Amino acid sequence: MVDEFLNQAEIDALLSDGDENSGGASVLTADDLSIMNEVAGIVASASSNVIGMLAGRTVSANLTEQVEIPQSELSATIEGARVFSYSMNLEGLNSMPALFVTGERGALALADLMMGGDAKDLPTEANDLYLSAAQEGLSQLVGSALTSLSGLVGGSRLSASSSEGHIADSAGWLPFPSDAAETRIWVGKIDLNVEGVEPFMLDVILLSNKAVELTSKVKEAMAPKPEPSPAAPEQAAPAAPKAPPQQRSQQAAQAAQAPQAPMQVQLPPKPQGPPVDVRQVEFAQLGGTDSAGSQGNIDLIVDIPVRVTVELGRTRKTIGEVLALGPGSVVELNKMAGEPVDVLVNGKLIARGEVVVIDESFGIRVTEVVSKAERIRSMGV
């Protein structure tokens, strides 16, 4: 008896039939790959700048290759047994899904650098603190890359939404789990070299059909704009037919013999009115601005509300130190005990004073006021 049931492979083949992004040949053309190479270069440049700024170290990020493969083959190219992925939707590009992917060691190194470490004494696996730090670093990287990429797509405003970080076992892992395993993806592989840290890879990933949409938008933005066609010249009125020479001479003789009427030009009536008083203009002598003028300017804005802030002190902390804060933590400021606090108006220093308690509220007793001229300049008057 012939088996009339389809096996799983045949079912998958039928389901993927007609889907240009599932299995089969490449979806991206040579022109598309050339544009995606430029996109990956923008991401690599943003990676170098952002990670270097956050880590305070020299960073080089180089695009080593770009490939188009079925998504089931990606996990085999990732270092380690676990993978860290940062997924997002790109607003301004029809909510296009995109991912940044690295191995667990790369995520730990990035997180440790974000928290002020040296990425040497790393934990054996990523905990919530490290995952949050790695996610924050990639979030800033994405923002910088999208700002640069917006120029490539004609100035469209791009942003990332629904951003999430995940860590999972690399075996059988798919970057786009809602799509078939044979769905083709574009992968740009960036080699990150941070000063004093073992290099690690960072992959930027798009579905191949979405990469085609992106390249189409880039091509549209780069296409030369058609020049407006020049207006068609107005057709000249047909010239009147010329009279024969004999007729023209007769007309000229008749015109010479005819009496010529004198030309009359009618002028408008002269207006009647009192005589105009004309005299030289007199300019006031220039002089310095006196305090009365400044007071007049102040009177114009005295009813405008401003924000008054009392600043006890300031300090600088790394992201790691801020994340480690909890109830009972002590933050040391840059002022000594007993020093006067600063009184700021819209961020401008105008006075200093000491803290007092009025009933159950804090207050400030002003002990020093900056000069009136300086206060006026600080308010832009």
Ordered by start, the domain boundaries in the chain are: 15-222, 305-313+336-381
SS3 category, 175: coil
Tokens for 14, please give them: 């039928």
Question: In one letter, which amino acid is 151?
Answer: G
User: What homologous superfamily does CATH list for 305-313+336-381?
Assistant: SpoA-like (2.30.330.10)
CA distance 40 to 154: 17
CA distance 88 to 351: 48
The predicted structure's pLDDT at residue 221: 85
Contact criterion met (CB below 8 Å) for 205 and 185: yes
What CA dihedral angle connects 92, 98, 101 and 107, to 10 degrees? Answer: 40
Contact criterion met (CB below 8 Å) for 343 and 366: yes
Q: Where are the beta strands (DSSP E) in the chain?
A: 59-70, 82-91, 96-103, 159-169, 184-194, 200-207, 308-311, 341-345, 348-358, 361-369
The predicted structure's pLDDT at residue 370: 82
CA distance 299 to 351: 21
> Could you give the C-alpha distances from 364 to 213, 266, 269, 309, 356, in angstroms and in order?
61, 84, 78, 11, 6
Question: CATH class for domain 15-222?
Answer: alpha beta
CA distance 91 to 88: 9
The predicted structure's pLDDT at residue 262: 53
The predicted structure's pLDDT at residue 329: 83
Contact criterion met (CB below 8 Å) for 312 and 337: no
CA distance 198 to 208: 31
Q: Tokens 């002089």 label which residue? A: 287
Residue-wise pLDDT tens for the chain (381 aa)?
444 555 554 555 455 444 445 555 678 999 999 999 999 999 999 999 989 888 888 999 999 999 999 999 998 999 888 999 999 999 989 999 999 999 999 999 999 888 888 888 888 888 888 888 899 889 989 988 998 888 888 888 889 998 889 999 988 899 999 999 999 999 999 999 999 999 999 999 999 999 999 999 999 888 877 766 665 555 545 555 555 555 655 665 565 555 555 555 455 565 555 665 666 656 555 554 444 444 555 666 677 788 888 888 888 888 888 888 888 888 888 888 778 888 888 788 888 888 888 877 888 889 888 887 776 666 555
- Are the folds of 15-222 and 305-313+336-381 the same? no
The predicted structure's pLDDT at residue 23: 53
The predicted structure's pLDDT at residue 2: 44
CA distance 90 to 161: 7
Backbone angles phi, psi at 108, to 5 degrees: -65, -40
